[in-house]
Amino acid sequence: MIPAAFDYLVPSTVDEAVRLLADAGEEAKIIAGGQSLIPVLRLRLADPGKLIDLGRIPELRGIRDDGDAIVIGAMTTHYDVQRDPLVHDHASLLRLATDTVADPQVRHQGTLGGAVVHADPAGDLLAPVLALDAELVVCGMDGRRSVAAKDFFVDYFTTALRPEEILVEVRIPKHTGWGAHYEKFNRVAQAWSIVAVAATVRAENGVITDARVALTNMSSIPVRAHAVEAALIGGPASPGAITSAAAHAAEGTRPTSDTNADSTYRQHLARVLTSRALTAAVGA
């Protein structure tokens, strides 16, 4: 299908992008990799008068070491995230989740920042960002501010980003040496998660010293399974301990019903998949 007509703006710096966005107001839409927005435009579910393309802003692309954190430019593609040694060493959970995103074509076009701002609760990168306690650095006319991932996701497709702001960086505290696993459950290979579990765990001498677990598509936003984390920390990295911790996975969740699953089944899946994710993360 053919999108409705729009003006296409291509800034070359973040400052220019922010200014264009402020000038355009409500009628503008930011386009990053376009892997979600373009289908929406083609189906005419949205018809923004202006599209501001962040694709030609070099400073938004790339991954750097920043001491106790790694910093991923918002326009870094999934493909680049998958191959990056810093991500591999310090945020392997993000890499493993990125491996499950769609297909190679999409991963060459889609971006981490785009996926985060799109805030589809069935998207695979929100839970890892939440689990890894990432900070989302956003920029508006008044300069930059940092929003914790736990405060960033507000509702379906809705974030704490203000209308005139763009996401510029994702700062991820280093989780060096942590085991990780992203357990995704869907019906066909190229589909959004029905439920998925992002787990990353630090274990020393058979004891779990720290754990982060977040769930995909168990609410209108990604959710942390704090009860699971609490049950794990300080306990043995054993199958029994993992199973009993995973039993808490669905606590406090209110997942939706759709054509693939009802809320009861989703909660059941959350428990099963959490157990599997943790088992893999501990073994990794």
Establish if 267 lies at the interface with other proteins (CB under 8 A): no
Nearest approach, Cβ of residue 120 and other proteins (Å): 5
Supply 83's token pair: 């191959």
For residue 22, what are the contacts with CB-CB under 8 A and spacing of at least 6? Answer: 140, 141, 164
Interface characters, 189-228, with other proteins (x: CB under 8 A): xxxx-x----------------------x--x--------
> Token match 């060096």: residue?
176
| 19: three-class secondary structure by DSSP | helix
Interface characters, 2-41, with other proteins (x: CB under 8 A): x-xx-----------------------x------xx-xx-
**Alpha-carbon distance values, 55 to 37, 136, 175, 217, 267 (Å):** 14, 19, 29, 28, 39
Q: Quick one: 73 or 114, whose CB is closer to other proteins?
A: 114
Which among 162, 163, 125, 157 is positioned nearest to 147, based on CA atoms? 162
Q: Segment contacting other proteins (CB under 8 A): 78-86, 119-127, 137-145, 207-215?
A: 119-127
Cβ pair 123, 216 in contact under 8 A: yes
Nearest approach, Cβ of residue 28 and other proteins (Å): 13
Name the site residues for other proteins (rule: CB under 8 A): 1-2, 4-5, 29, 36-37, 39-40, 42-46, 118, 120-123, 156-158, 185, 187-192, 194, 217, 220, 256-262, 264-265, 268-269, 272-273
